[in-house]
Amino acid sequence: MAVAMSEDRIWTAALIVIGDEILSGRTQDRNIEQVALWLNLQGIRLAEVRVIADRQEAIVASVNELRARNDYLFTTGGIGPTHDDITVDAIAAALGRDVVVHPKARAVLESYYATRGGLTEARLRMARVPDGAELIENRMSGAPGIRIGNIIIMAGVPHIAALMMEALSGQLEGGRPLISATIGCWVAESEIADILRETEAAHEGCQIGSYPFFREGTVGANFVIRSTDQARLDGCTDDLAARLAAAGREVFRGGI
């Protein structure tokens, strides 16, 4: 049973989105969704997210709380060259480490900026890491992401964060990916609430989420079944479809 238990271990991650621009409403966050989807593929579950301001004490408190209770902690934002980029300093403070210039990051930036005006003091800020950190490659802008302990520090610009995740793909230990199936019905979710509750209760290891919508002038809902086990997922999905059909509902496999 030890193997089975190991397979059943759920690996979790937290994400801290660092940025006044999200809290002010200026910028629509795009990182939560893409980090969540990428983590699913790594067999890691996004367990919690925080969006916090560019303030050192807020970053330190959240970093120390979330890294302690999750297998991984990701951050996005605040690693550029300007005065409001304080993520590296704040995380180093959280870890009680010095900030140092990483020689390889410096070399990468020197090369990148050789034809772009040279490595200024501001640009050199992007080579600063908490002492002991490793780099995460970023072939787009030169400035690397940073990995230290279970903390992974990424850019806030979504397509650069995506490149950093690409570089990390397959590198992080995880468990079974969370898999899901979707069933849709043109029904008010309140009409089939009992069916959902009873079906979930009958299938251990599966959760059913209900997501109502209003479209084409009428109400409908998609029901998402989630599990880490394909057989359980299929069993629960088939059972839900059968119960909805028995209640006279037309069932759309794959959702509406």
- What token pair was written down for 200? 């979930």
Strands 11-18 and 44-52: parallel
> Which residues, 2 to 61, sit near a second copy by CB under 8 A?
17, 20-29, 32-37, 39-40, 45-54, 58
Contacts of residue 92, defined as CB under 8 A and 6 or more positions apart, other chains included, come to 98, 99, 130, 131
Out of 67, 102, 125, 203, name the contact with a second copy by CB under 8 A: 125
Site size toward a second copy (CB under 8 A) is 64
- What token pair was written down for 117? 């005006």
**3-state DSSP: the chain helix, strand, coil percent, rounded to 5?**
40, 25, 35
Task: Using the minimum distance from each CB to a second copy, give the nearer residue, 47 or 100.
Answer: 47
Task: Using the minimum distance from each CB to a second copy, give the nearer residue, 120 or 230.
Answer: 120
- What token pair was written down for 205? 């290891």
The total number of residues written for the chain in this structure: 256
Q: How far is the CB of 141 from a second copy (least distance, A)?
A: 8
* Cα→Cα distances 220→94, 197, 224, 246, 253, Å: 47, 18, 13, 18, 14
DSSP letter, residue 71:
S
Contacts of residue 192, defined as CB under 8 A and 6 or more positions apart, other chains included, come to 185, 221, 244, 247, 249
Task: Using the minimum distance from each CB to a second copy, give the nearer residue, 132 or 212.
Answer: 212
- What token pair was written down for 8? 């059943």
Of 137, 132, 100, 105, the residue nearest 119 (C-alpha): 105
> Which residues, 234 to 253, sit near a second copy by CB under 8 A?
none
Out of 126, 164, 185, 233, name the contact with a second copy by CB under 8 A: 126
Q: Are 177 and 213 in contact (CB under 8 A)?
A: no
Out of 3, 5, 82, 170, name the contact with a second copy by CB under 8 A: 82
Contact segment (CB under 8 A) with a second copy among 86-94, 162-170, 200-208, 232-240 equals 200-208
Q: How far is the CB of 1 from a second copy (least distance, A)?
A: 26
Task: Using the minimum distance from each CB to a second copy, give the nearer residue, 148 or 155.
Answer: 155
Out of 211, 218, 230, 250, name the contact with a second copy by CB under 8 A: 211
Q: Build a one-symbol-per-residue string for 142-181: x at contacts with a second copy by CB under 8 A, - elsewhere.
A: ---------------x--------------------x-x-
Q: How far is the CB of 226 from a second copy (least distance, A)?
A: 7
The residue ranges that bind a second copy (CB under 8 A) are: 17, 20-29, 32-37, 39-40, 45-54, 58, 80-84, 116-117, 120, 122-123, 125-126, 157, 178, 180, 188-191, 193-194, 196-197, 200, 207-214, 224, 226
